[in-house]
Amino acid sequence: MKKYILFIALFVTVCSFAQSVNDYKAVIVPLKYDFMKSENQYRLTTLSKFNLKKAGFEAFYSNETTPKGFSERCDLLYFDLEKESGFLVTKLFITLKDCNGKIIFQSVTGKSREKDYEAAYAECLNQAFASLQALNYKYNDSKAASKAVVKSIVEEVIEGRAVAVEEVAVGGKENQSDTGVKYLYAQPIVNGYQLVDSTPKVVMKVFKTSSPSCYIAKKGEDQGVLIAKGAEWLFQYYKDENLISEKIPVKF
């Protein structure tokens, strides 16, 4: 099979990952919420950071200088506490947003009939945090690594450093007829699919992003992306600093 140039499709640059709170390193807490008249009124900012750390998160105030390793803003979540209107009832809920303002998590609404604001807000906050603590947060650095692979691929293409690569069909030659191709079949797993052959043996795993034509992919020790190119699926990853692209016949 002849080698030929394959460049990453431009939509990879806007291919965003289906995220959970576990995909973020830390949370940034504002000093003042919209419904507050002053910073840390009723100690809500202090209580928010305390409860975040209790739930397992690294947390920093918005005016803090974050330590080394926490400087990439899109690796962080942004905390907010929002107030709902209610007659004789105080209502608060938590949101965690990504760097683009997309809500990654929204808590249940905490409610209190306490007349004292400080007591009411504290009660609401505790109820809201109960649903966040139930997530059992633990930072998932494996998805961060996959994200770094995609970023590296995009940078290679932008800078014109993409190299000639060989297209490989799984279980067959490039010009096989459809009946001769040995397909992989997608079996649903959490957040994606495992691709199995007819044995059945798991050949690779792919994880959903916001685009149905782009998956985070892992095949053996290789990590990259599985992207749609016309009617075909291509597994693209780096090996020995070379961009590799494999044709993957798959039935979803």
pLDDT at 152: 57
CB neighbours of residue 98 within 10 Å: 19
- The answer to whether the predicted template modeling score (pTM) of the entire model surpasses 0.75 is no
The CA–CA distances, whole Å, from 81 to 48, 97, 228 equal 9, 11, 40
pLDDT at 83: 93
Structure tokens that stand for 36 in this block: 């507050």
CB neighbours of residue 195 within 10 Å: 29
Q: Report the SS3 class of residue 112.
A: strand
pLDDT in tens, the chain (252 residues): 333 333 333 333 334 444 588 889 999 999 999 999 999 999 999 999 999 999 999 999 999 998 888 888 888 999 999 999 888 899 999 999 998 899 999 999 999 999 999 999 999 999 999 999 988 898 877 555 555 555 555 555 445 444 433 333 344 333 344 456 788 999 998 888 999 988 888 999 999 887 788 888 899 888 888 988 878 899 988 888 788 888 999 988
Domains of the chain: 4-16+141-251 (no CATH), 21-133 (3.40.50)
pLDDT digits (tens, 9 = 90+) for 16-53: 444 588 889 999 999 999 999 999 999 999 999 999 99
| CA gap 175, 250 in Å, rounded | 16
pLDDT at 163: 43
- Pairing of β 76-84 and β 58-61: unpaired
Residue (of 160, 151, 140, 165) closest to 235 by Cα position: 165
| CA gap 25, 159 in Å, rounded | 29
